[in-house]
Chain A
Amino acid sequence: ETGVTQTPRHLVMGMTNKKSLKCEQHLGHNAMYWYKQSAKKPLELMFVYSLEERVENNSVPSRFSPECPNSSHLFLHLHTLQPEDSALYLCASSQDRYQGAGYTFGSGTRLTVV
């Protein structure tokens, strides 16, 4: 384990379902991130939280809704997704957003929308 834990590892959901992805880190990091990784594409930054405050939202559709209740936990709530949303969703954390330190990633949730 890297120190960032994501659950579930795999998720299959229908387009009308509502589900949530969970991310947890106990590294004492102050910044957490959601990335989407699709085949043959670079990682796409979705949301950034710094000290529990959302600081970036990269034009992500409203069917994705993040939540950061405390500095150790990050959620991504999903509802009425589309098949093109199928991808690997990665959570990451870093000490902060300004020192250029490496990110610690979780193993990801492989999401399939049917």
Chain B
Amino acid sequence: SQKIEQNSEALNIQEGKTATLTCNYTNYSPAYLQWYRQDPGRGPVFLLLIRENEKEKRKERLKVTFDTTLKQSLFHITASQPADSATYLCAFYILTGGGNKLTFGTGTQLKVEL
């Protein structure tokens, strides 16, 4: 079955630096890959979507890449700020007949320090 792996260890970086989070998957490539942000006690908030035929997507300080050869997506936050501290989840949307669904990784906690 499809597995999604995100680094379970928290990532601590200094304000102003670029944060890079990794999402790896096994087996077949998803049709869509999404990234969400989740704050403690809240629901995830959708950030970006990238399709399997796209290499890169940008939105303000956020950038997502999708490498189907490496079976990996990277999520970058440039010029990071303490307000970016949160848990970031990647999710795969696989198109399979009637069983399309969004499957999530466990998330990586990001801490941006002053």
Contacts and interface: CB of A to CB of B under 8 A. Distances in A.
Contacts, number: 61
Interface in A65-114: 88, 90, 92, 97-98, 100-108, 110
A48 interface: yes
B100 A97 contact: yes
Contact of B104 (A43, A56, A98, A104): A43
Contacts of A102: 34, 36, 46-47, 49
B103 A45 contact: yes
Interface stretch (B37-45, B66-74, B78-86): B37-45
A34 to B, nearest CB: 12
Given A40-B106, A42-B106, A55-B98, A100 B31 contact: yes
Place the interface of chain A in its size category.
20 to 34
B106 A2 contact: no
Contacts of B47: 102
A106 B98 CA distance: 25
Interface of B: 4, 8, 31-32, 34, 36, 41-47, 49, 51, 89, 93, 95, 98-107
A88 B99 CA distance: 24
A48 to B, nearest CB: 7
A4 B46 CA distance: 13
A107 B107 CA distance: 17
A31 B17 CA distance: 38
Interface string A1-27: 010101000000000000000000000
B108 to A, nearest CB: 12
Nearest to A100: B32
A105 B43 contact: yes
A48 B41 contact: no
Contacts of A4: 43
B98 A2 contact: no
8 contacts: A40-B8, A43-B44, A90-B43, A90-B44, A100-B51, A103-B34, A103-B102, A105-B43
